[in-house]
Amino acid sequence: MSDAPQYWSPEFIEVFVERMNEDAEFQRTARGFSETIILRCLDAPTDEDVEAAYHFEEGEVVGVDLWIDDAPSEDMRNDPFDKSEGMARATADYATWCKLDRGEMGVMQALASPDYQIEGPKLRIMTNIGVLNGMSDVAARIEKTY
């Protein structure tokens, strides 16, 4: 049996934060980035909806706010995006996140997909697309179960 965490579990998110903070390539990409990025996964295999708000200061993740609720979480799914709480919020179902993680879909393809929703100021998101790509790259390198 593998000790690899389940994708989108709290254990995976903990490893993800550690890896982003340790990864030299990601740190070069995220250098100077001080924003919050909110990622939401609907219909995770645990029959939950999961939201993780990653708080960055100068490229380092300094905190994560985790919200986990039984799927479908009406509270989470109907929660309006508050631009004062984050630069961007990306929402997709578990299958779409898995496609991104496996490299079957890139961030730019996801942005154009009806299965992936991103909210926030588009110009700021596009200006910081390297950070989103870097987050995706770091996540993909983590050993995990699906």
Range of the domain at 121: 10-140
Domain count within the chain? 1
CA atoms within 13 A on the CB side of 46: 15
Indicate whether 3 belongs to any domain: no
Closest by CA to 104, choosing from 115, 117, 89, 120, is 115
Indicate whether 4 belongs to any domain: no
Q: Phi-psi region for residue 43, left (φ > 0), alpha (ψ -120 to 50) or beta?
A: left
- Amino acid present at 17: V
- Burial of 113 by CB count in 10 Å (0-12 exposed, 13-18 middle, 19+ buried)? middle
Indicate whether 2 belongs to any domain: no
- Amino acid present at 82: D
Indicate whether 5 belongs to any domain: no
- CATH code of 72's domain: 3.30.1050.10
Indicate whether 108 belongs to any domain: yes
Q: In this predicted structure, what is the pLDDT of residue 107? A: 76
pLDDT digits (tens, 9 = 90+) for 37-71: 999 999 999 999 999 999 999 999 999 999 999 99
Indicate whether 26 belongs to any domain: yes
Q: Tell me the C-alpha distance between 34 and 66, whole Å.
A: 19
pLDDT digits (tens, 9 = 90+) for 97-140: 999 999 999 878 888 899 999 999 999 999 999 999 999 999 99
Query: Does the model's pTM come out above 0.75?
Result: yes
Question: What mean pLDDT do residues 84-91 have?
Answer: 96
Indicate whether 104 belongs to any domain: yes
